[in-house]
Amino acid sequence: MEQLVTSPDNPAPARSRTPHQLLLSDEQQTPGTPRRNRRTRRTLAVTALFAAGALALSACGGNAEAGGHDDGKNGQAGADAAAAKDASDAKITVSSKDGSTDASINDTGVKVTGGKLTDVKLTVADTGATVAGAISSDGKSWKPGVQLERGTKYKIVANAKDAKGRSATENATFTTVSSANSFIGSYTPDNGKTVGVGMPVSFNFDKVITNKKDVQSHIKVTSSSGQQIVGHWFGAQRLDFRPEDYWKAGSKITMKIDLDGVKGGEGITGVQSKTVNFTIGRSQVSTVDMDTQMMTVKRDGKTIKSVPISGGSPENPTYNGQMVISEKFEQTRMDGSTVGFTKENGKGEYDIKDVPHAMRLSSSGTFIHGNYWGSPSIFGKAGTSHGCVGLQDNKGGGGDTPGKWFFNESLVGDVVIVKNSHDKTVQPDNGLNGWNLSWSAWQAGSAA
């Protein structure tokens, strides 16, 4: 076979001119088709293939600067950086962390720096109920208007703007500490009260406290009189505070309760945060002498009245000791069965539904009260009660009677001392009667 030599003057045959085997050669064209048309179609096909290759190159090619090989990450990073640079200067902080399950019921709030709050919305997650609250006058903080409920899920949305008007938002969902995992102390006296010189501060906790030292150290009781005040534990759920001697008349007492977040024991946390203020009134101490069946009432150290009484009978004597008036009732029911006096045990049953001018001296049922059912001759002469101290009175509490006078002249917290009874001294935790402990014994019961 003769070898062909190609040159500009001697081109290769048509079948060898193109490298693309998909194109048809002249010999493969349909017979009868003009050669010029065949050549034109071949030229167009080659041009189309080169054009497609060029399009493919422009769509998938390029370099790193053009973002062709980083999946757009560099471009997104630039956008994020630009957004961050233009972000608001306002920084919002919600005290209850998002997702927390032991949030405080007292300290939930919102603060902002670098701007001012525009609106805050706190809702109960399950019901959508809105919890009222208020933004401070300077726009820097927000607090709810009520204490939150224990064991409740809340949602909060806070919005703010900086000096340039740029907005910021913070969202949080949290659950307050549950009743099972928290403890609360009910206390007396309450805020704003005026009480007698014998009134202790008394806490009763709803859970057993094992971490007594921390709990006691987070309750501070101070007096304007400067008296030293010490706490004393009665068991694991009661904590009382008092000075060595009765409070000074007219002094102002401040009690700061800072138990929120304090561990009271395994698995229980305090939730209270409050300041309580109360006032000590004039000094009134009344002494009941069971030998004479008389009560001497002293006001600021001076006797203002001697009142005939009828104390406990020889079979049911009245406790001795220093007792503090803890409650006052214009009228109340006294049912002996509630304190062990029944027909069955032979102690003498009674159920008087309208006892006038009654004031509690012990939690076990000792009262000083009006007595309208006893003969006037018993007062100042004989003890006839089931352990209470009775004063002559009228049914319904009307009229000018010793019972009414003493009731009107007494404050919760006044002291009633009983002496010369044939009974034992009242226990210091039976009512608010810790004064029956010596100062050294009182101090020994402190955990601080």
Q: What is the pLDDT of residues 181-226, one digit of tens each?
A: 999 999 999 999 999 999 999 999 999 999 999 999 999 999 999 9
Give just the sign of the alpha carbon dihedral 321, 325, 326, 331. positive
* Structural tokens at position 375: 């003969």
Between the alpha carbon of residue 39 and those of residues 25, 43, 44, 52, 336, the distances in Å are 9, 6, 9, 20, 128
pLDDT at 240: 98
In the predicted structure, residue 100 carries a pLDDT above the cut 50: yes
Q: How many CB atoms lie within 10 A of CB 346?
A: 9
Q: What is the pLDDT of residues 308-333, one digit of tens each?
A: 999 999 999 999 999 999 999 999 98
Between the alpha carbon of residue 28 and those of residues 11, 41, 42, 43, 46, the distances in Å are 19, 13, 12, 15, 17
Q: Mean pLDDT, to the nearest integer, of 102-115?
A: 94
Beta strand 201-205 with 238-243 is antiparallel
Q: What is the pLDDT of residues 247-299, one digit of tens each?
A: 999 999 999 999 999 999 999 999 999 999 999 999 999 999 999 999 999 99
Identify the DSSP state of 113: E
In whole angstroms, what is the distance from residue 157 CA to residue 442 CA? Answer: 50
* Structural tokens at position 6: 């190609």
pTM, two decimals, is: 0.74
376: three-class secondary structure by DSSP: helix
pLDDT at 253: 98
Do 218 and 176 meet the contact criterion of CB atoms below 8 Å apart? no
Q: What is the pLDDT of residues 110-168, one digit of tens each?
A: 999 999 999 999 999 999 999 999 999 999 999 999 999 999 999 999 999 999 999 99
Do 276 and 255 meet the contact criterion of CB atoms below 8 Å apart? yes
